[in-house]
Amino acid sequence: MDLIDSFKQKYSDQPTVLARAPGRVNLLGEHVDYNQGPVLPVAIDRAVHLAAGPSLGGERIVTLHALDLDEQVSFSLDNLAAKICTDGRPLPNWAHYPAGVAWALQDAGYSLAGMRAVYASKVPIGAGLSSSAAVEIGFCVLWQALSGWKVEPLTLAQISQKAENLYVGVSCGLMDQFSSACGIEGHALYFDTRSLEWQPAPLPNETSIIIADSGVRRSLATSAYNERRGACEQAVDILRRYLPAIRSLRDVSPTEFMAYSTALPETIRRRAEHVIKEIARVDSALSALHRQDRRAFGALMYAGHASLRDLYEVSTPELDALVEIARGLPGSIGARLTGAGFGGCTVNIVDTTQAEAFILGLQGGYLERTGREAQVYLCRASQGASAQIYVSSG
């Protein structure tokens, strides 16, 4: 059953707006966002799809049906801070994302209309492909279309980030929402997380993006994440004795790091080295993409994985196996873990002519080496989120 039929079945009515918002994969620039560095994500053609119409009688009530969960909730736009349904029950966790978007939009001064909606996602949950950001951006563009105002995509991303930080309670950066809102077909996005300036970078010709899910769900131990973030902050505090102008590791060049890294305790030194060199890799990758240098770009991906494995220590044996197997397959250009690590996915850039054989080789090799089955997704770089008015043909 497609989305429109689902809307008709749930609400005995036609939707008036259809929307989609893509997930994302990060090609380079891992664990640098909280160090104010640049990142290189891609919006992918696995997306959240939504169908919506105004609430009955103009009520300021939102009724949502999550098709993947087969669950429905209703909540009031006038009582969002309470995080309760119209029947007084607590809002389920999955509904915090759309409700949070409504809360953040209204807090920013935008008027919202009540709606009835159904939605479904083709972005795997928990794999590090930003399924939650896709939901948030999807509801942003839905409300924009239903309520009649127009906002720049980057602003929608910032509003969605605020929803996730302050309403949902997840301390994420801006990259995920930015990628979903601002994606450009066929391009990676070079995004400066400090200045918020960005530019598209053309992906190498005749290449495909292949994402491999290790099947290990990220036990992104909050303590492990916080330890690494804290180590970066400690590194800045120590290096500031020698480089008083720095605000974050973003401000430390590789040469300056070589000069002063001996002042850092061993673990802190390794964490900082990853961040500083990863930022340099992103800048080198941008140059490689603009000159269509596939080999240089792939080498930077492999180097990024080695750094995440050895210096930042966020890889797993399964992720390492996926990268090692990929490196030996025909058509492989580059591979690395993507996302925070501790499980989740790898991302591969592969010659399009070899993509199908690559997928089979990766799945077979991974099963043989680990006894696990990997879900593998052939993707392309897609356009960012959009909404359109739906006109029934019948």
Residue 345 CB neighbours (<10 A): 26
CB-based contacts of 360, cutoff 8 Å, min separation 6: none
Question: Is the separation of the CB atoms in 390 and 18 below 8 Å?
Answer: yes
Question: How many angstroms from the chain centroid is the CA of residue 34?
Answer: 15
d(Cα 68, Cα 355) in Å, to the nearest integer? 29
206: left (phi over 0), alpha (psi -120 to 50) or beta: left
Question: Is the separation of the CB atoms in 358 and 325 below 8 Å?
Answer: no
Q: What are the CA-CA distances from residue 1 to residues 4, 205, 212, 343 (Å)?
A: 8, 36, 28, 33
Q: Report which of 143, 169, 167 is spatially closest to residue 156, judged by C-alpha positions.
A: 143
Signed CA dihedral, 222, 227, 233, 237: sign only: positive
Residue 293 CB neighbours (<10 A): 16
Alpha helices per DSSP H over 291-372: 294-310, 317-327, 355-370
Angle between helices 294-310 and 266-290 (to 10 degrees): 170
Q: Which residues are catalytic?
A: 176
Q: Report which of 316, 339, 324 is spatially closest to residue 369, judged by C-alpha positions.
A: 324
